[in-house]
Amino acid sequence: MEKKKVVIRNNYTNLPIEHDEVNSEEDLLDADGYIPAQTQVENLLLAGRNLEEYRREMYEYPDGVKEDDPPMDPSRRRGFDPVDAQHIMQDVRRKLDEAKKAKKKQNKQMEKQSDEVQERVEIQREPEKSEASEEV
């Protein structure tokens, strides 16, 4: 088997001579307008706070909530945990049960009072009926 000769277009034998770079001590980088990343992030955070404050000031009330506005959905708050939702639901159910019990108790008391009133009315009417029957 015969070896083929590889022909390279440039054999890199006649490369130009490189000289060391001479430092002229001149700063070639234009630093005008450069803002470090940390400063940019801090400025963004500050801008966010200013925007929130501005939006709060746009309301008539300092905290941004009117007294007659319905309360905000707690699940929309930042950092809301599903476990918190479960606790809230348990509290609401407990309060509803207590309200139902109180309503039942109140209804029983009202029924008892109405029964007593009816008995009094009937007792007062009995003498009137007896007087009316005597007159006839």
Given 16, 49, 67, which residue is the final one in a domain? Answer: 67
Q: Is residue 121 part of a domain?
A: yes
Q: Is residue 40 part of a domain?
A: yes
Q: Is residue 80 part of a domain?
A: no
Residues 6+ apart with CB under 8 A from 43: 35
Which domain, by its residues, includes 47? 36-67
d(CA 49, CA 43): 10
Q: Is residue 83 part of a domain?
A: no
pLDDT per residue as tens, the chain (136 positions)? 567 776 667 667 777 778 787 777 777 777 788 889 999 999 999 999 999 888 877 776 666 556 666 777 777 778 888 888 899 899 999 999 999 999 999 999 999 998 888 888 888 877 666 666 666 5
Q: Is residue 112 part of a domain?
A: yes
Domain count, the chain: 2
Q: What is the pTM of this model?
A: 0.34
Q: Is residue 119 part of a domain?
A: yes
